[in-house]
Amino acid sequence: MKTVIAIACTSLSLLVGCVDTLEDDAELNVVEQPTICGSTNDAQHVNSYTGTLGPSITFVQANKGSKGAMETTAAANSSKFCSGSLISSNLFLTAGHCVDSTTVGDFVSFNFERAANSTTLLTQTHVQITAVVEDSLGGVDYAIVRLNGTPGNTFGIAPVAAADATVGSAITIIGHPGGAPKQIEAGSVASFSGDFVRYGNVDTLGGSSGSGVLNSSGQIIGVHTNGGCTSTGGTNSGMRIARIRAVSSVL
């Protein structure tokens, strides 16, 4: 099994961003990482979302289904360690550091969500990972895995943008921060640098890695990979879609 351990951001990592999770072979343990932008975590559970973060409630409901949580076992109480998005009927896009030699045989849980205004969990669907199709090609921190069957036909497919977003444009992340049930956070693009799209007003935690960074049309313009926000500044960041497209033969 994978251990997912959040790491603190050092002075060096604040310059380049710290990877949301580390993995090794031991009992799964998700630890929340200090990557909150400001003094409070503004994320809301998707089915209790109030519409106050920017995107509409309709937008969140329309885009949440294709987002899943990675897990090592298919069980309602399984620990989740990364997030990702269905980009076809059976392909799932996540972060490269969420994938390793033991990934085939793991699962993705869909519908890992709380009921509206409740702590009650909805019924999950656990879909097995059958192959790693691409993993960190060109040193870019992304991965595409193949899932059993055609879950995209049930849960929806997230469109992948043809190009990067623009600085200042609105973005949304729907994923599983801290391995928790599905949540939404939103903000805007702060800058681009190298492989990274950066955002200083979107809270993340360990477990958010692999989440699609969505534009206002629900298209994936990045894959969240790194923390870097603190209570006084910094940015969280992900792989920009233009860099992923440049190395991927799938997209």
Instruction: Give the separation between CA 45 and CA 64, rounded to whole angstroms.
Output: 11
Same domain, 122 and 202: no
Token pair for residue 81?
């360690």
Q: What is the pLDDT of residues 140-153, one digit of tens each?
A: 999 999 999 999 99
- Supply φ then ψ for residue 94, to 5 degrees: -145, -165
Tell the burial category of 125 from Cβ atoms under 10 Å away from its Cβ (0-12, 13-18, 19+): middle
Instruction: Give the separation between CA 248 and CA 251, rounded to whole angstroms.
Output: 6
Same domain, 83 and 145: yes
Q: Is the residue at 80 inside a domain?
A: yes
Residue 214 DSSP one-character state:
E
* Rama region for 115: left / alpha / beta (φ>0; ψ in -120 to 50; rest): beta
Same domain, 116 and 138: yes
Residue 241 DSSP one-character state:
H
Q: How many domains does the chain have?
A: 2
Residue type, 97: H
| Domain extent for 14 | 2-61+159-245
Residue type, 36: I
Instruction: Give the separation between CA 146 and CA 93, rounded to whole angstroms.
Output: 9
Closest CA to 209 of 39, 46, 93, 59: 93
Instruction: Give the separation between CA 227 and CA 19, rounded to whole angstroms.
Output: 6
Same domain, 78 and 151: yes
Same domain, 227 and 173: yes
Closest CA to 161 of 69, 239, 230, 103: 239
Q: Is the residue at 251 inside a domain?
A: no
Q: Is the residue at 85 inside a domain?
A: yes
Q: Is the residue at 250 inside a domain?
A: no
Q: What CATH number did the domain enclosing 95 receive? A: 2.40.10.10
Q: Is the residue at 10 inside a domain?
A: yes
Residue 159 DSSP one-character state:
P
Same domain, 54 and 163: yes
Instruction: Give the separation between CA 236 and CA 116, rounded to whole angstroms.
Output: 28
Closest CA to 37 of 55, 23, 54, 17: 17
Q: Name the domain boundary from 125, 155, 185.
A: 155
Q: Name the domain boundary from 155, 184, 215.
A: 155
Decide: 31 and 48 in contact? Cβ < 8 Å. no
The CA-based diameter of the chain, rounded to the nearest angstrom, is 45
SS3 108: strand
From first to last of its 251 residues, the chain has per-residue pLDDT tens of 344 433 333 333 333 344 554 333 233 333 344 589 999 999 999 999 999 999 999 999 999 999 999 999 999 899 999 999 999 999 999 999 999 999 999 999 999 999 999 999 999 999 999 999 999 999 999 999 999 999 999 999 999 999 999 999 999 999 999 999 999 999 999 999 999 999 999 999 999 999 999 999 999 999 999 999 998 999 999 999 999 999 999 99
Q: Is the residue at 151 inside a domain?
A: yes
Same domain, 54 and 70: no
Q: Is the residue at 129 inside a domain?
A: yes
Task: Count the residues in the chain.
Answer: 251
Same domain, 113 and 88: yes
